[in-house]
Amino acid sequence: MDLTDPVHAYLYGLIQTDGHLSQGTGNKGKLQIEISQKDADVLVRLASAIPYYSRLSTRTRSTNFSPKHTSVTLRVCAKEFRDELVSLGMKVGRKSETIDVPRCEFSPADYFRGVMDGDGSLGFTSNGFPFLSLCTASEGVAVAYESFTRAITGKEKRLSRNARDRVFNHVVFKEDAQAVAAALYYEGCVAIARKKQMALAVQAWRRPQSMRRVLRRKFWTDEQDGYILTHTIEESAVALQRTARSVKMRLWRLRGSNK
């Protein structure tokens, strides 16, 4: 597995969200990815990228969403492949809160597209605004994904678990959603076809002329607080790309809280 390779990075992300790695006694165990039959094409492509014997199977069962839900499962039993996944940071067994980004160099856009295809959603709100949402119980994945989107949009998202499910829900809207969708679902990438089509629809959206842009507030980090406390207002404004007034106000709040 070379996670700088787009297909391998995507596969790793999809395994973490829609896959399950089990370990039995001795050399027994398996990796399996189960998705809806309508998305089976992506498993066929991934199976050809795995250099070990794999098997595709289909089953129909009753679920919470449908009395006759048909799914397709990709299974790989080779111990060498499973050991390599573990060495890269893959968790065995239940893993929703403990998964993390790979321990090696990897392709972020392709890895996060795999995570998005498994645990994310994209489309349009009831008002017709494009959005991209990733819901994850893993703090490590949430922090890494926020850093990825911040590098694209230039906007910081404050991360916190919601009160009901204790998960992180990272959502971007409008032009920010378009920019992230373009980075994730580029031409020729391996992805679930329906999500790739939706990404194209998101990118095709145009803001109505009557809708004005609202500047998003930039949150202060502990590192930025430390910087302005040890540098002049002018130096801080230039280094942090903020106005002198913003730096002065932050200093006033920091110093007031220490009284």
Which pLDDT belongs to residue 257? 61
Q: Is the pLDDT confidence value at 27 over 80?
A: no
pLDDT, tens only, 166-175: 899 999 999 9
Mean pLDDT over 116-138 rounds to 94
**What is the distance between the alpha carbons of residues 220 and 215, in angstroms, rounded to a whole number?**
16
Which pTM value belongs to this model? 0.80
pLDDT, tens only, 185-227: 999 999 999 999 999 999 999 988 877 776 566 778 888 888 8
Angle between helices 108-119 and 139-153 (to 10 degrees): 120
Q: Is the pLDDT confidence value at 62 over 90?
A: no
**Paired tokens of 37:** 């039959």
Q: Quick one: which of 174, 187, 57 has its CA closest to 123?
A: 174
